[in-house]
Structure 1
Amino acid sequence: MVTTKKGWYVGRKNNNKLNRTLLKVKSDTELKFGLIGLSLLVFVAVFASLLVPFDPYFFGPDVLNKLGENQHILGTNHLGQDIFSMILYGVRTSLMVAVGSALISAVIGILVGGIAGYFGGKIDLVITECINAFMMVPTFFLILLIIALFDSSITNVMIVIGLTTWPSNAKLIRAQALSIRERTYVKSAVAMGETNLQILFKYIIPNGIFPVLANTTIGMSNAILTEAGLSFLGLGDPNVISWGQMIFMGKQYLTSAWWISTFAGIAIVFTVTVFYLLGDGLNHVLDPKHKSRKDA
């Protein structure tokens, strides 16, 4: 009978915690707008081939058409490519870079930071110094150097961004691991004979990953900006359509054909804002210290 009451109490406590989390999701405006914007971007990326009125890779005779001229909603560039179609296809490139680089950064950061925080001692000292060394290196210039030396394909861009942005995730998960390893359930798992690998992947990482999720989402926006910057400098993948590449091609026509660069820049601003809202909203929801307006 006591066990039943205890189980009922624990279940009710977990339900209350879930309800509070759902309440935060509903009341957090930033997260709601971020989710709406992300849904729109994903929809466009998936159905871009059906939404475009023209082939974005086609060099047509309609050169530097103005907005709405010859059925080109946002005009054309100096090569006759439809700007609206290029914008929609650019969503795929941006999301590919954001997700790919974020996954690489998150996986490396979680593993390195989790190991450092859980084992501590000399292992933590060595890994922490490595993290600090990576954080002191100017990331963008390192990316420029690597891309200039190797192939500038979209895959290499994702890998390089991911390999240079993991330290922030590592520091977050390390701080979580230092706290979680002192919890009662972790010490009980050690006493029961569970291996360090089991404890790391069953208790440390799953319970400390939430700040990394919010940070990774914000990191996606930085990855999009980095890819756009590389493309603007002529170091992007020439075989894919990129908003940064569009801005680069249109900068010489700013006075006569402003629409080439302008709408690509607006697309970058919109996408980056969506990921920032999503990351900030996740941080509010997952942070136990943050209170929603209804809780206050």
Structure 2
Amino acid sequence: MTAPLAPAAAPQERGAATLPAPRPRRALRAFLRNPTALLGLALLGLVGLAALLAPLVYPDDPLGMVAQPFLWPGQDPAYPLGTDSLGRDVAAGVAHGARVSLLVGLAAAAVGLAAGVLVGAAAGYCGGRTDAALGRLIALFQTMPAFILLVVLVAIAQPSIPAITLAIGATSWPTVARLTRAEFRSLREKDFVTAARGLGYGPLRIVGAEILPNALPPIVVTASVMVASGILMESALSFMGLGDPNAVSWGSMIGSGREVLRSAWYLTAIPGLAIVVSVLALNLVGDGLNDALNPRLARER
């Protein structure tokens, strides 16, 4: 008698060695192979580390007067970045300012993303009159100068970190809404969405489990840009005197140092450099995410 034939391998097992890696893993590998993205991530990590360690390294009030005014960087080892016109430690201000700037940038981006994704998803998926009405609402907000609207909102409310965060989020959501609307309109008629409808899935499940994950890559890239924009907007408000008076930020440090720009230029240069490094890091990370998540670039790789 002949020996029985061995059972055939399952299709997944036969092709397991040749199947491409899942998309998130490919995107992660592509991101980690991008040197500029890693540079941006490293710079952002340094800024985040400074923000986390600020209460430990500088436990005292960063607005407190602790030394002689106008100590230049390196003049006194106890104050490596010098002091300002009131004798406040510049290094403590930069470290605590990182906490405020990152907090406002991240929270404002979260507010803008939440509002933009909700409005854009509703417009793109529902279509018809809902799409037309929400599309006009998005266009209306986009016709308003964002920074002027931001100044008006903050001036009406009491200047504080929550008020500034909500105001920045309220001016940044239209960009996300327009992008999300376009993505949902292109995806709602795809075969996998039609199959989900045929299986009896409800609209919320289709939107949350089927369409939104496929629309996330461009939204994630936009989120990094929104964080950078939030940092710049908060700095501009603080520079104009519309920031939280009870919190130190990079913008307020630049604003207080502009009066002595010729004699003590370091008071504006040091926090300005912190803003440049943070925004540059976020832009580099955003470019790396775009290269990793863009399907056209992925096919080229």
- If the length of structure 2 is used for normalisation, what is the TM-score? 0.91
Distance 1:211 1:2, change over 3 A: farther
Q: Which moved more, 1:148-157 or 1:23-32?
A: 23-32
* Structure 2: runs of 5+ lacking an equivalent: 1-6
How is 1:83-102 mapped onto 2 (pairs within 5 angstroms)? 83-102=90-109
Cα deviations by residue, 1:121-172 (Å, 9 ceiling, x for unpaired): 1111111111111111001001111111110101100001001101111111
| Cα separation, 2, equivalents of 1:138 and 1:197 | 34
Structure 2 counterpart of 1:151: 158
1:290 is paired with a residue whose SS is helix
Structure 2 counterpart of 1:60: 66
Structure 2 counterpart of 1:188: 195
2:179 is paired with a residue whose SS is helix
How is 1:32-47 mapped onto 2 (pairs within 5 angstroms)? 32-47=38-53
Q: 1:80 aligns with which of 82, 87, 93?
A: 87
Q: 1:228 aligns with which of 227, 235, 256?
A: 235
Distance 1:277 1:141, change over 3 A: same
| Cα separation, 2, equivalents of 1:257 and 1:15 | 55
Cα offset, 1:21, TM superposition: 2.4
Structure 1 counterpart of 2:111: 104
Cα offset, 1:57, TM superposition: 2.5
Structure 1 counterpart of 2:206: 199
Q: Which has the larger radius of gyration?
A: 2
| Cα separation, 1, equivalents of 2:172 and 2:138 | 10
Structure 1 segments of 4 or more deviating over 3 A? 6-14, 16-20, 52-55
Distance 1:188 1:53, change over 3 A: closer
How is 1:218-257 mapped onto 2 (pairs within 5 angstroms)? 218-257=225-264
Distance 1:181 1:162, change over 3 A: same
Structure 2 counterpart of 1:27: 33
Q: 2:275 aligns with which of 259, 268, 279?
A: 268
The 8 Å contact of residues 118 and 204 in structure 1, kept in 2 or not, is answered as no
Which amino acid in the other structure matches residue 13 of structure 1? L
| Cα separation, 2, equivalents of 1:86 and 1:208 | 40
1:216 is paired with a residue whose SS is helix
| Cα separation, 2, equivalents of 1:141 and 1:8 | 61
The 8 Å contact of residues 67 and 83 in structure 2, kept in 1 or not, is answered as no
Which amino acid in the other structure matches residue 28 of structure 1? N
Q: Percent identity?
A: 34
Cα offset, 1:180, TM superposition: 1.6
Structure 1 vs Structure 2 CA RMSD: 2.1
Q: 2:57 aligns with which of 51, 54, 69?
A: 51
Which amino acid in the other structure matches residue 117 of structure 1? G
Cα deviations by residue, 1:70-91 (Å, 9 ceiling, x for unpaired): 3221110111101011111111
Structure 1 counterpart of 2:178: 171
Structure 1 counterpart of 2:3: none
